[in-house]
Structure 1
Amino acid sequence: MRKLKTFSILLLSLFWILYLNAQEEEDPYLWLEEILGQRALEWVKIQNQESTSKLEAVPVFKSIYEKTLEILNSPARIPYVSIYGNYLYNFWRDSEHPRGIWRRTTFEEYKKKEPKWEVILDIDRLAKDENENWVWRGAQLLYPDYNRALIMLSRGGADASVVREFDISTKSFVKDGFQLPEAKSRVSWIDINSLFVGTDFGPGSLTTSGYPRIVKIWKRGTPLNEAKTIYEGKTTSVSAAGYRLFSEEGNIDFIVESPTFFTNIYHILKDGELIKLDIPADAEIESYFKGNFLIRLKSDWNSGNKTYKQGSLIAGKMEDILSGKKDFKVVFEPTSFSSIQEISRTKNYLLVNILDNVVSRLYRFSMDAKGNWVKKEIILGDKGTISISSTDEKRDDFFLNYENFLTPSALYLVNGKTLKIEKIKSMPEFFDPSSYKVLQYKALSKDGTSVPYFVVMGKNTKFNGENPTLLYGYGGFEIALRPSYLSTVGVAWLENGGVYAVANIRGGGEFGPKWHQAALKKNRHKAFEDFIAVAEDMIKRKITSPQKLGIMGGSNGGLLVGSVSMMRPDLFKAVVCQVPLLDMKRYSKLLAGASWIDEYGDPDDPDMWEYIKTYSPYHNVKKDVKYPKIFFTTSTRDDRVHPGHARKMTAKMKDMGHEVYYYENTEGGHAGAANNQQRAYITALSYSFLYWQLIKE
C-alpha cells in the first residue's frame, strides 16, 4: 500500500511538471506571475532602475514631483468627514503623518477655518511600534453610540486587510476583542457582542474570485471556528456577505450573495429565517427610507401590470416586498442622457444625484401625506460635479462637494429643510484657471453612436495640430468620468503647455446601465472604437496630431489604452498604462480576475476566447509593428489586478525590440501608491515620460 501511495505521488508530481512545462512553452513569461519570486523581483529591480534613471533625468521631473507632493500634503486641502453621532471623523495624511492619522472634531469646530482635532489613532506611530507597514483601509463604527470600531489595516496597501476591534473612548485596541488575520474579509457589526463575518475560514471557504462565500455570526469571547454558519454561497459566485442596516426605523439584517459582479441575491434574516427578496438579480437596494426599500434598476422590469424603466429608482414598502406584493412607486426615471450617480438619505429627505449629459444635478425628494414623492432641485455651480459628501439619518443637514476641471473643490453645508447653502471649506487654486477654457465635443463612433468628451486647453491654443495632448479614458464597470478639479494635472501637464482631454466612452456609467451594457463581453470593442473615435475627432479638429497625442488609463483603463495602442499604433505617440489588465487569456485565473467575467467574458469558453483574443494586448503585440512608446506602471502589493499583466507585457515587448518603460512600486495595492510621497513620485514619472515624448523630444 505504501509503495502504491508513493507511486501515485510521483505520478501526480510528474503530471504537474509536464503541465507547467506546457504552460511555459505556451507563455514563456509565466514565471513573472510569481509575485514574490526571486527571479521575478530581480527582473523588477532591473526594469525599475533602467526606467527611473531615464525618467528622473527629464528636466521637469523634479519640479513636477515637488509641486505634486506640495498639493498632496497641502494643509489647505479639505478634510472631508463622515458623520457619526455628535462627531465628524476624518482620515488625514500630510508630510508629518505620511501614513496618516484618524481624528475627529465637532460640528461647531469644523466650521472654523482651523478646527481643533482630537487624534484617535496615529498610523505612523502604530506602524513603528508594531514594526509593520500598515496602510489605513477604513473603520466601521458601531451604531448608535459609535464608541467601538472595527479597524481595517493593510500591509503595503493590498485589498486584504487585518481587522481589529478598537475602543474609541480609550483610544486603544480592545484586549481579546474581535480580530481577524489578513484576508479579504467582509465584517459588519450586529451589536456590541456579535458580528456578521465572512473571511478565509480555511480550504473551500472562498470563491474562485478570492472573496468569502460563507457568512457566519461570531459571538464575543468565542473562537472564530465556533461561529455559527447562516449562509453558504457558491464557489463560482463573486462573494457573499452579511450586514445589519442600522436605522431609527428598525434594524434590518441582510445576507447578500453576488453570483456575478453585477448581480445580487438579497435575503433578509428575520427571526432566524432567511427570506429571499423577489427583485431582479441586477437590481440594487440603495437605501431604506420611511419603511421603503429604494431599488435601482439596471434593466427594464415587468412587474405586475407595470414596466419599470431601466435606470429608474423605485420605492416599495418592505412588508409588501416580503409578502410578494409588486406595488412600487417611481421616484426617478432617467432620460436618454441622464443617469443616477448617488443616492443618500437624511432624517426626512432622500438625496438623488443625477448626471445629465455628464454634468451633475442634485434633487431632494420628500414624501407627502399621500405617500407621493416630491422633488426639488438643489442648485450648486454650473457644468461641474456635485458629490454627496456626508449625511446622517438623525439630522437633515448634510455636506455637499462641488468642483469642475478649473474650479477647486468646495464643501457646503446644506440645511435639508430650507435648502440654505453655506460654504464651509474650499481648496485653494493650485494653478491659474484664468488661462484655460473647457470645451465639450462629440465624436461619432464607428457604429454611429455619439460619444462626448471634454477638452481643457489654454485660451490662446491654436487649432493647428501641434498641441501636445493627453487623452484619458476608462470605459468599464459603469464608472462615469465626471469633471473634477485638475490640481496635479494642472501643474504637471497644463502649465507645461499640454492639452488634457477626457473621453466618456461606452462601458462607463455616464448615461446609465445601457451605456455600460453596450460594451460588455462581445461588445467590448465598442469601448475601444469610441476611444479611437475621440482621438480621431481631436485630430480632425486640429487640436492635436498622432505625433502629439498621448493616452493614459489605469486598471480597466489600462486594458483600454493597451488594446487601442495595439489596434491603432499609428494614432498615438505615447501611452501611460497603469495597473493594467493585459493578458486576457489568464486574467480570470489571477487574483480577483474571476469576478470580472461578467464584464469581459470567460476566456475558458472557446467561443468567447475567439472574440477576446482579438483585443487582448498581450496576444496582439507583434515584432514587426512600430508601436508608440509605452510606460507601464504597477504595484507588487496589488492583490486585485495581478502585477504579472504589466510585467509580462513589458518583458514580451522588450524581447521583441520595442521601446517600453516600466515601474513597479513595491507597495500601494491597486491604487499604485501607499502614501503621498509614492503618489507624487509615480505622478512625476508618468508626466515626465509624457513631457519627454510629446513636448520636448
Structure 2
Amino acid sequence: MPVTSPWPTEADPFLSLESLDDPAAAAWVEAQNARTRTAWQGGARFEALRKRLAEAYLPRERPVIPSRWQAWAYDLWEDESNPKGLWRRALWADWRAGKPQWQTLIDFDALGQAEGVAWVCAGLDILYPDGDRALIQLSDGGADAVTVREFDLERRVFVDSAEGGFVIPKEGKHTISWIDRDTAYVGWDNGRRSLTRSGYPREVRRWMRGTRLADAPVVFRGEFDDISIEADYDPIEKRHDVVRSIDFFDAYNYRLDEQGAWQQYDVPEHVAIGAWQGWLLLEPRLDWACGGVTHPGGALLAIREDAFLAGERTMTALFTPTPVTSACDWTNTKQYLVMSWLDDVQSRTMLWQAQCEDGAWTWHARTFPARADSQVEVSPIEDTLNDEVFVDVDDYLQPPEYWLTDLAKDDLQDWELLDRWPTQFDAAPLTVVRSHALSADGTRVPFTMIGPRAALEGSARKPAPCLLTAYGGFAIPLMPQYLAGDGIGWLEQGGIVAVAHIRGGGEYGTAWHVQAQTEHRQRSFDDFIAVAEQLAADGYTRAAQLGIKGGSNGGLLVAACMVQRPELFGAVLSEVPLLDMQRYPLLHAGASWLDEYGDPEDPAEARALAAYSPYHRVRAGVPYPPSLFTTSTSDDRVHPGHARKMVARMQEQGHANVWYLENTEGGHGPGSDALERADYDALVFRFLWTTLAGTW
C-alpha cells in the first residue's frame, strides 16, 4: 500500500516570501515593518525606555576584562560612538596596574562607514608565537557568512593580497586557522560543489602565502551528506587534527601521523576527542561499552594517547554523570584541567592534575568553590604562561562580578575582585524561586521564577503579568544570567520572569536531550505547557497575563505551543524561529538539524513533524493570542521565510492581531550591536505590556 504523505498536496501559496531578492517580498516586509512600528514604536515612554536600555547595554562605566595573549591585553570595546567595536590592546602589566595605554588596532565602525558595509567582527586569530599578525573574520550585519582579511598588528593595517596577505573577499561560511606564519588551513565556501548539504565547507585546503586559494591543495575531503569539515593545528601540542561532523552531534576525529597521513581515531562517532599534554580526553555522548566497561553518556574519560594508539582501553573517569547533572565541559591552564558541569542546574567546577611517579600516572582532584544560586565560570587567562584564571559570577538579579585567581594557590577561596558590572535595576524587592511541574507523561520539569516577593512568596499573592521562556533543544541548557533588559523593562514594573528547564535542553545531560529529540519532540511542548499550567494553578499569573517568548528553536517552541493550546497564553513573541517543518532542511543551514528534528522525507518522522509544524497547524477561526514574529534579513542560519510565511498565512486566515518585524541587520539575533538591540527590546516590551496588562 502506498504511504500517504502527512504534508499538504497543494502548492505553498506563500513560497515567494522565501525569496531574499524578490521586490514583491521586500515590499511585503516593508509594509509589515511599517505596520508594526506604527503600532508599537514611538512616544515619550518608548523613547525613555529605549534610552535606558541602551545605557544599560553599553554603560559608560563598565568592566574591561580583556583576553591575554603573552604580554598583551586585548579588548573589543563598544560604546555609543562605536557600537560595532574598537579592537584595541595594552600591555598586560599596565592593565593589571590600572593604567592601560590602549592602542586602537581596528575601528570596525569606521571601517564599515568607509566601505559602506555594516561590518561586525566575527573572529580574531592571532598568530602563535609571533604575535604580529591576525586573521580577521568580518560579517556583514552579523550574518554567519564572513569575509577574511589578514591584519598586521605592528603597522595596524590590513595586509592585502598583493602583499601576500591571506584574503578571502567573497562572503561565505569560511573557516581559517594558522598553521605557521606562511600557511593556513582553510575551509573555503566556493559554491555548491565545495559545500556539504548543510551549506558548510566539505574540503580542507592547505593555503601557502603568496599563492591563489584556488590553487591550494585539498588535504581532506568529506562527504556531501556531512555537516562540515574543519582542520586545526595546535602549536602548543604540535598536532594537526580534523573533525568531520557527520551530523549535528557526532563526528569522526582524525590526526595527522608522522608520515603525513590522516588517521581516524578508533572510537564511535558519538565520542568527542580532545588532547592535552599527551592525554586523550574522551567524551561519549551516549553510553559506550569499551574495554569491558560501559561508560555512561556525558562522562569525561582520560587515557594517555600513546597507550590508546597501542590498543590500551583502560581509562580514568574524571567525570561520571548522574540523573541530575549535565554533561561536562573542560578547558585547561598550564598545569590544571578545569572541568565544569551543572548539578540540578547549579554550576560546579573541579580541577584535575595528572602526576607521574615511577611510570604510573594518577589524577588528583580539587573542588573549586561554588556560589549558591549563581553561575560560576572559570576561564584560563593565558594557558601557555601560568594557571591564572578569570572567575565570572553571574545570577539573575545581581550584576556580573569578575574575579581573578591563581589555581596554583593552596587557597582556592583567595579571589581578587577585578570589577563589577553596574547595577541596572532595583533588585531589593525581587527574589528567585524554584518550582516544578509534572509533564503529560509524569516527568518532573523544573522551572525558575524571578519577580517581586509579594508576587512569588506567601499564599496571598495576586496574579501578575508573567513572561515565560525556554529553549529545549540541541542539548543547550539555560543558566542564570543578569536580567539587565528584563529587569528594566519587566521586573521593575511588577512583572514575573519564568525560565522553564524543559526536555530537549542540556540541563540534565544526554537523556534529558534525547527524550525530546526527533519523533519525541512533543515532549518539549508538553513540558512547556505543563509549566504554563502550573504557573496559573499556583496563582502566580493567569492565562490573559501569561506571555511566552523564545528564539530560534525556542521560537518554534512557543509557536507550536500557541497553536496547540492558545487558551493558555495572553501573548506570544517568536524570535528568529523555524516554523515550516516540511521545508526547513531546504532553507539555509536547516539540513544540519535533521538529527535534532527528523527528516520530513522519512514517512515516520514526517508524521511527527507535521503533527506540530506551526506553519501547517495554524487554523482560521481559532482565537490565538496576540503574536509578534521577528527575524532578520541577514539571518543566514534560520531563514526569514519561516516567520514571513507564518505571518502571511495567519493574516490571510483573518487573525488581525498578528505582527511582524524584520530587521535588516542582526544575523541570527535582534540586532548587530547593542543600540539596535535596545531599540528592538523597547518595542517588544511595549507590545507585551499592552497585550498582557493593558498598560503602557
TM-score by length of structure 1 reads: 0.94
Q: Which residue of 2 aligns with 1:7?
A: none
Where do residues 568-647 of structure 1 align in structure 2 (5 Å cutoff)?
568-647=565-644
For 2:557 and 2:94, the matched residues in 1 are separated by 45
- Does the 8 A contact of 2:618 with 2:650 survive in 1? yes
For 2:158 and 2:625, the matched residues in 1 are separated by 52
Report the Cα offset of residue 390 of structure 1: 4.1
Letter in 2 for 1:216: R
Q: Which residue of 2 aligns with 1:434?
A: 428
Change (3 A) 1:23 1:546: closer
Letter in 1 for 2:280: F
Report the Cα offset of residue 188 of structure 1: 1.3
Change (3 A) 1:233 1:500: same
Moved more, 623-632 or 172-181: 172-181
Q: Which residue of 1 aligns with 2:401?
A: 410
For 2:8 and 2:522, the matched residues in 1 are separated by 28
Q: Which residue of 2 aligns with 1:95?
A: 80
* Mapped pair 1:111 → 2:114: no
- Does the 8 A contact of 2:347 with 2:370 survive in 1? no
Q: Which residue of 2 aligns with 1:375?
A: 365
Q: 1:667 aligns with which of 662, 665, 670?
A: 665
Q: Which residue of 1 aligns with 2:167?
A: 179
For 1:332 and 1:349, the matched residues in 2 are separated by 15
Q: Which residue of 2 aligns with 1:55?
A: 40
Moved more, 22-31 or 295-304: 22-31
Residues 325-354 of structure 1: per-residue CA shift (max 9 Å, x gap): 322211111221112453110000011112
Where do residues 217-366 of structure 1 align in structure 2 (5 Å cutoff)?
217-247=206-236, 250-270=237-257, 271-285=259-273, 287-366=274-353
Q: Which residue of 1 aligns with 2:4?
A: none
For 1:627 and 1:51, the matched residues in 2 are separated by 18
Change (3 A) 1:545 1:58: farther
Residues 278-310 of structure 1: per-residue CA shift (max 9 Å, x gap): 12211222x422210212221111111111121
Residues 49-79 of structure 1: per-residue CA shift (max 9 Å, x gap): 0011110157742232111101111133333
Change (3 A) 1:122 1:341: farther
Change (3 A) 1:23 1:618: closer
Letter in 2 for 1:308: H
For 1:654 and 1:299, the matched residues in 2 are separated by 44
For 1:116 and 1:471, the matched residues in 2 are separated by 45
- How many residue pairs get aligned? The number is 673
Q: Which structure 1 segments of 5+ residues have no match?
A: 1-21
- Does the 8 A contact of 1:638 with 1:672 survive in 2? no
Q: 1:140 aligns with which of 120, 125, 128?
A: 125
Report the Cα offset of residue 227 of structure 1: 0.7
Per the alignment, in what secondary structure is the counterpart of residue 547 of structure 1? helix
Q: Which residue of 2 aligns with 1:695?
A: 693
Per the alignment, in what secondary structure is the counterpart of residue 513 of structure 1? helix
- Does the 8 A contact of 1:473 with 1:505 survive in 2? yes
Report the Cα offset of residue 515 of structure 1: 1.0
Report the Cα offset of residue 319 of structure 1: 1.8
Report the Cα offset of residue 153 of structure 1: 0.3
For 1:66 and 1:201, the matched residues in 2 are separated by 43
For 1:695 and 1:124, the matched residues in 2 are separated by 39
Letter in 2 for 1:179: V
Per the alignment, in what secondary structure is the counterpart of residue 672 of structure 1? coil
Report the Cα offset of residue 321 of structure 1: 2.8
Q: Which residue of 2 aligns with 1:28?
A: 13
Letter in 1 for 2:53: T
Report the Cα offset of residue 205 of structure 1: 0.8
Change (3 A) 1:551 1:112: farther
Q: Which residue of 2 aligns with 1:655?
A: 652
- Does the 8 A contact of 1:618 with 1:649 survive in 2? yes
Q: 1:197 aligns with which of 166, 174, 186?
A: 186
For 1:114 and 1:457, the matched residues in 2 are separated by 40
Residues 391-416 of structure 1: per-residue CA shift (max 9 Å, x gap): 32221101120111111111111111
For 1:222 and 1:135, the matched residues in 2 are separated by 27
Report the Cα offset of residue 322 of structure 1: 2.9
Change (3 A) 1:59 1:619: farther
Letter in 2 for 1:518: Q
Q: 2:28 aligns with which of 23, 43, 47?
A: 43
Question: What RMSD in Å do the two structures reach over aligned CA positions?
Answer: 1.7
Letter in 2 for 1:582: L
Q: Which residue of 1 aligns with 2:560?
A: 563
Residues 602-659 of structure 1: per-residue CA shift (max 9 Å, x gap): 1111221111110000000000111011101100000000000000000100111112
Letter in 2 for 1:150: L
Per the alignment, in what secondary structure is the counterpart of residue 624 of structure 1? coil
Q: Percent identity?
A: 39
Change (3 A) 1:157 1:24: farther
- Does the 8 A contact of 1:140 with 1:150 survive in 2? yes
For 2:406 and 2:372, the matched residues in 1 are separated by 20
- Does the 8 A contact of 1:58 with 1:688 survive in 2? no
Q: 1:386 aligns with which of 376, 384, 387?
A: 376
For 2:517 and 2:684, the matched residues in 1 are separated by 29
- Does the 8 A contact of 2:300 with 2:328 survive in 1? no
Moved more, 109-118 or 442-451: 109-118
